[in-house]
Protein backbone atom coordinates (compact mmCIF):
# COMPACT_ATOMS: atom_id res chain seq x y z
CA UNK A 1 0.00 0.00 0.00
CA UNK A 2 1.14 3.52 -0.76
CA UNK A 3 0.94 6.43 1.68
CA UNK A 4 1.31 10.15 1.19
CA UNK A 5 3.37 12.23 3.61
CA UNK A 6 3.39 16.00 3.99
CA UNK A 7 6.87 17.44 4.21
CA UNK A 8 7.08 20.81 5.91
CA UNK A 9 7.47 22.60 9.20
CA UNK A 10 3.82 22.63 10.23
CA UNK A 11 3.71 26.42 10.12
CA UNK A 12 1.96 28.86 7.83
CA UNK A 13 4.14 31.32 5.91
CA UNK A 14 2.64 33.80 3.48
CA UNK A 15 4.08 34.66 0.07
CA UNK A 16 4.60 38.19 1.42
CA UNK A 17 6.61 36.82 4.35
CA UNK A 18 8.78 34.80 1.98
CA UNK A 19 9.31 37.84 -0.24
CA UNK A 20 10.35 39.94 2.76
CA UNK A 21 12.76 37.21 3.94
CA UNK A 22 14.29 36.94 0.47
CA UNK A 23 14.76 40.71 0.25
CA UNK A 24 16.42 40.72 3.66
CA UNK A 25 18.71 37.81 2.69
CA UNK A 26 19.86 39.42 -0.57
CA UNK A 27 20.29 42.77 1.15
CA UNK A 28 18.46 44.85 -1.44
CA UNK A 29 16.11 47.75 -0.82
CA UNK A 30 13.05 46.43 -2.64
CA UNK A 31 9.40 47.20 -1.96
CA UNK A 32 6.90 44.35 -1.77
CA UNK A 33 3.71 45.38 -3.52
CA UNK A 34 0.47 43.61 -2.68
CA UNK A 35 -2.75 44.36 -4.50
CA UNK A 36 -6.24 43.62 -3.26
CA UNK A 37 -7.22 41.85 -6.50
CA UNK A 38 -4.64 39.15 -5.70
CA UNK A 39 -5.99 38.43 -2.22
CA UNK A 40 -7.91 35.29 -1.30
CA UNK A 41 -11.67 35.69 -1.57
CA UNK A 42 -13.47 36.31 1.74
CA UNK A 43 -15.83 33.39 1.09
CA UNK A 44 -12.95 30.89 1.14
CA UNK A 45 -13.35 28.66 4.18
CA UNK A 46 -9.62 28.07 4.72
CA UNK A 47 -7.79 31.39 5.21
CA UNK A 48 -4.29 29.82 5.61
CA UNK A 49 -2.78 26.49 4.62
CA UNK A 50 -0.47 24.50 6.91
CA UNK A 51 1.02 21.09 6.17
CA UNK A 52 -0.03 18.45 8.69
CA UNK A 53 3.35 16.83 9.42
CA UNK A 54 2.21 14.60 12.30
CA UNK A 55 2.31 11.44 10.17
CA UNK A 56 5.92 11.88 9.05
CA UNK A 57 7.02 13.13 12.49
CA UNK A 58 5.84 9.78 13.92
CA UNK A 59 8.49 8.14 11.73
CA UNK A 60 11.14 10.35 13.38
CA UNK A 61 11.48 12.87 10.56
CA UNK A 62 12.08 16.48 11.55
CA UNK A 63 12.94 19.40 9.25
CA UNK A 64 16.61 20.41 9.26
CA UNK A 65 16.03 24.01 8.21
CA UNK A 66 13.73 26.84 9.13
CA UNK A 67 11.93 28.50 6.22
CA UNK A 68 14.44 31.37 6.38
CA UNK A 69 17.44 28.99 6.47
CA UNK A 70 16.12 27.00 3.49
CA UNK A 71 15.46 30.18 1.54
CA UNK A 72 18.97 31.40 2.35
CA UNK A 73 20.44 28.10 1.09
CA UNK A 74 18.37 28.28 -2.11
CA UNK A 75 19.41 31.88 -2.82
CA UNK A 76 23.06 30.98 -2.25
CA UNK A 77 22.74 28.05 -4.70
CA UNK A 78 21.22 30.36 -7.30
CA UNK A 79 24.16 32.76 -6.89
CA UNK A 80 26.72 29.94 -7.36
CA UNK A 81 28.12 30.02 -10.90
CA UNK A 82 29.39 26.43 -10.58
CA UNK A 83 25.88 24.96 -10.64
- pTM, two decimal places: 0.68
pLDDT tens for the chain, 83 residues long, are 688 888 888 888 888 889 999 999 999 888 888 777 666 667 777 667 788 899 999 999 998 999 999 999 999 886 665 54
Residue 66 has a CB neighbour count (10 Å cut-off) of: 13
**CA separation (Å) from 17 to 14, 42, 56, 65, 80?**
5, 20, 25, 16, 24
**What's the gap between Cα 24 and its chain centre?**
15
d(C-alpha 30, C-alpha 28), whole Å: 6
**pLDDT value at residue 8:** 86
Amino acid sequence: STSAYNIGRGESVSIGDIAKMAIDIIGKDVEVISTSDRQRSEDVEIPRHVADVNKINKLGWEPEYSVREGLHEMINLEDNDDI
